[in-house]
Structure 1
């Protein structure tokens, strides 16, 4: 992960910053919502050249298992070094995933200091033997990944299902179209014990009736370059941790890039009109 792009994967994760098989959708109902997170530098472990960070994530999730899931995501991050230099990254992405987790469309633009740095556009289809990716940008081409690879919302649902079963670990390859759209990631999710009471640090926007009766779990998702072994000694490319509610809403983000760590505080939360399946 390049520190100048900070492109979050929305297997939220949090977001983790997002479609499930049809049977899974009957047990996990993701809530359409718009969330805004404020980013800040939490830890600087040396060697990163990062002195200050400020930024914001806007995450809008719509749809359901009937019509598919649409995600609009934007992250603007300003990074300052101790030498007085600063860079501004502006990542804008849109994805759509069908309710059966078989089809995925994605497009993203990343601007660095207001200049287009990367433009990605493509789609992926899951077959019996492979996940086939057709890229239009940044370079037209085709690639294939193993059939068990998950798309982002499908991954999110499987995390919630695992949490509801009181499983503590979930390992899965994930394709989200990030970077140049030409790679997958091995992920390892660690799921904590279901929380019985609201945390004392609960942000004001999270004090909503839609969340009061929702179970939630502390979750940490580590992303590894595909092909590296998932062992206790393996260092992930980066890690995201957050509180994950049973309806897919996330709060209290922590994004660990190795040499430095960002936090994401929930500043706004709006629940949107339910999809066709829920109406």
Structure 2
């Protein structure tokens, strides 16, 4: 199991919007302020976050009795220099039928700021037994998407684009939410599993809100209740991943979360079908933002 940080709309901009702001007597109207917000570039916060895992629900043929673990994320970068992310997820599942299963996944990625290049490396163990390392890179040139794998064996493949990498997917999702869109469909590649899968995704975006999070449980997501993000706009998002194909399909994985305007996530829930896991944000460190936004 793995957190897919973690999203095609263009930024809304142009002289017409700027003129509307200047022409409003007595200052910008609420509608003009919202328009200006949607026109501003999305800046993803450099941050380190820790989510403590627990069982939310269980049933079906692969039900589990308990779950615990932790996800640690270290995200850095900007649209000029690109984005790096280090993720470690340790999950312990207990089942009366299959016993205990401990998975430890470490993932490192780099994504170009323009969303045209992506490098990834994943190492994992299950009950202490290592799985083959996945190491490779991907590029998007026009409508051509290509992946080159170094490990577990050298290989390459390609398909028609466009395909979004994780950070660009996140920025597009925030752009869509700011613009009042309620859905966003996209092909996404994050290098997960064996590094050969491009997923169809569908994001359903709820109404925006601000103020302290109302996440279930009085202690849940405490850094978001009391910290700098308590007044930052956020949207509830349900993001479903599908195997590529046509017609009606059941998602293989669904991630629901509160998406903050700077890319931080709270109220995390990972649904694998037969069971679901909650992620409680227990620690959050935000780096100081740049004096001037990066403009590639």
Superposition TM-score, scaled by structure 2 size: 0.83
Q: What does residue range 104-119 of structure 1 map to in structure 2 within 5 Å?
A: 104-119=118-133
Q: What does residue range 36-185 of structure 1 map to in structure 2 within 5 Å?
A: 36-83=50-97, 85-185=99-199
Asked if structure 2 preserves the Cα contact closer than 8 Å seen for 1:93 and 1:107, the reply is yes
In the alignment, does 2:167 pair up with 1:187?
no
Q: Paired residue for 1:220? A: 238
In the alignment, does 2:276 pair up with 1:261?
yes
- Distance change >3 Å, CA 33–CA 125, structure 1 → 2: same
Kindly report structure 1 stretches of 4+ aligned residues shifted beyond 2 Å: 23-26, 196-203, 207-210, 272-279
Aligned length, in residue pairs? 263
Larger Rg: 2
- Distance change >3 Å, CA 25–CA 110, structure 1 → 2: farther
- Distance change >3 Å, CA 197–CA 210, structure 1 → 2: closer
Equivalent-residue separation in structure 2 for 1:128 and 1:25 (angstroms): 24
Q: CA RMSD in A?
A: 2.2
In the alignment, does 2:244 pair up with 1:205?
no
- Measured after TM superposition, the shift of residue 196 of structure 1 is 3.7
Equivalent-residue separation in structure 2 for 1:81 and 1:207 (angstroms): 34
Equivalent-residue separation in structure 2 for 1:165 and 1:9 (angstroms): 24
- Measured after TM superposition, the shift of residue 278 of structure 1 is 4.0
Q: Paired residue for 1:236? A: 251
- Measured after TM superposition, the shift of residue 213 of structure 1 is 3.4
Which consecutive residues of structure 2, in runs of 5 or more, have no partner in the other structure? Answer: 14-37
- Measured after TM superposition, the shift of residue 269 of structure 1 is 0.4
Higher helix share: 2
- Distance change >3 Å, CA 138–CA 274, structure 1 → 2: farther
- Measured after TM superposition, the shift of residue 46 of structure 1 is 2.7
Asked if structure 2 preserves the Cα contact closer than 8 Å seen for 1:65 and 1:277, the reply is no
Equivalent-residue separation in structure 2 for 1:117 and 1:50 (angstroms): 23
Higher RCO (CA-CA < 8 Å; seq separation 6+): 1
Which consecutive residues of structure 1, in runs of 5 or more, have no partner in the other structure? Answer: 1-5, 14-19
Q: Paired residue for 2:21? A: none
Asked if structure 1 preserves the Cα contact closer than 8 Å seen for 2:55 and 2:67, the reply is yes
Superposition TM-score, scaled by structure 1 size: 0.88
Q: Helix, strand or coil for the counterpart of 2:131? A: strand
